[in-house]
Structure 1
Amino acid sequence: MTSIRRSAVDRRAQLVEIGLELLPTTPVQELTIDEVARRAGISRSLLFHYFPTKRDYYTAVTRAAARALEEHLLAGGEPGAAQVPGMLDRYVGWVETFREAHLSFVRGAAGGDPWVAEVYEETRERLVDVALTALDLPDDARRRQLVRSWFAFTEDLVGQWTREPTMSRDELLALLRDVLDRLTAR
């Protein structure tokens, strides 16, 4: 396989894209540098020219996956509070499609993996901002804490539901919205 001469920016983007393509079937921590390099048509050592360490590569892929999740959740463009049901529906669909990779991301953050935790916290805080704005809620410590906790509940319940659905999708979405409304009631 002949490698194509690319700029450093293009090559980095290509390598991250390969990582993203592998994520649905392989947790980020299990991506092999050899497989990524093989798919890119480059040597392992050249990959390390663009990403000095495995952790740097994994962090870049994790950040790209988090951005893709955010873009997916915000894709509906609904105004204000109408944004929340669409985001919830898109989130459930995301977890259904990318369950193992998503759970790996959530568990990696909870397991104390610092680079995953950093990306996870950044992503969650941006989503908390979106939820507070969409629901027209004050951005204070109490509401942020409640919405963060609701996200944790939502991640856990949706992860379990995708493995063992104990209610319909509509019931799940209604429950998630009801819990959010109760937690954030003024």
Structure 2
Amino acid sequence: MTSSRMSSDARRAHLLDTAERLFVSVAYDDVPMAQIASEAGVTRALVYHYFPTKADLFAAIWARAHETLGTTVDFAQARSVRDGLISALVAYLDFYEKHLGLVLTANRSAIAAAPVVRDPITATFDTLTTTVLDAVGASGEPRRIAETAFAGWIGFIREATVKTLLDRTVTPEQNLAICIDVLDATVGRHIDLDVPAGRG
């Protein structure tokens, strides 16, 4: 139960924690705001004060989860840019497995296309793409082509990973190998990912 002495930040975090527990166990569309308020021990009006819509509430949870993913790849610790990118990929796949309930809402629900849901995903991968292209010193047309290749690769790993986690017919290790193969066949065809880390 919340306390009247709870700070605004603490109360907001409490609402996010409560809603996240519900969203990972019950389908997004089946969780009314009234239930979130009840579980949090507050009124619906208070929930709406912090989050005007349920989509805004989920988006805040989704953005908070992405903060733990870490969008800055430290290529200085990797032998090559490719190795650094694979380390980022491993972290991303681990994130998907640990947050599967949220991932399904963000990719398979009625709000999947909403900007408030897509923006954290876009920001994460825009940062990763820029970091990689800067690290290899890509510019001009090769950079533009590689950016498009990155977008396709990111879409592939998202779909392949969701399918892997739902179907369980392919192991996470096999999915990782597939994603690396596709990386080399798309992005790796247009920029040299094997350059030493930090060259750019």
TM-score of the superposition, structure 1-length normalised?
0.76
Does 12-21 or 153-162 show the bigger shift?
12-21
Higher relative contact order (CA 8 A, sep 6+): 2
Shift of 1:74: 5.9
Cα pair 2:164 2:171 within 8 Å, conserved: no
Counterpart in 1 of 2:166? 163
Q: For 1:40-59, what per-residue CA distance to the aligned partner results, in whole angstroms no more than 9, with x for missing partners? A: 22111122222233343233
Shift of 1:181: 1.6
**Distance 1:2-1:21 versus aligned 2 partners, 3 A rule:** closer
**Distance 1:175-1:52 versus aligned 2 partners, 3 A rule:** closer
Shift of 1:110: 8.6
Cα pair 1:33 1:54 within 8 Å, conserved: yes
Alpha-carbon distance in 2 for matches of 1:2, 1:169:
39
Q: For 1:63-92, what per-residue CA distance to the aligned partner results, in whole angstroms no more than 9, with x for missing partners? A: 223323x339969x9534322233323333
Alpha-carbon distance in 2 for matches of 1:173, 1:83:
14
**Distance 1:118-1:25 versus aligned 2 partners, 3 A rule:** same
Match of 1:35, as an amino acid? Q
Is 1:34 the counterpart of 2:30 in the alignment? no
Q: For 1:107-140, what per-residue CA distance to the aligned partner results, in whole angstroms no more than 9, with x for missing partners? A: 3599533332333323332333344456x25263
Alpha-carbon distance in 2 for matches of 1:111, 1:167:
25
Counterpart in 2 of 1:96? 97
TM-score of the superposition, structure 2-length normalised?
0.72
Alpha-carbon distance in 2 for matches of 1:152, 1:32:
30
User: % of aligned pairs identical?
Assistant: 25
Cα pair 1:110 1:117 within 8 Å, conserved: no
1:68-79 alignment runs, 5 A limit: 68=68, 70-71=69-70, 78-79=77-78
Counterpart in 2 of 1:143? 146
Shift of 1:154: 0.7
Aligned residues: 184
Cα pair 1:154 1:176 within 8 Å, conserved: yes
Alpha-carbon distance in 2 for matches of 1:72, 1:24:
23
Alpha-carbon distance in 2 for matches of 1:25, 1:162:
16
Counterpart in 1 of 2:177? 174
**Distance 1:2-1:125 versus aligned 2 partners, 3 A rule:** closer
Structure whose CA Rg is larger: 2
Counterpart in 2 of 1:10? 10
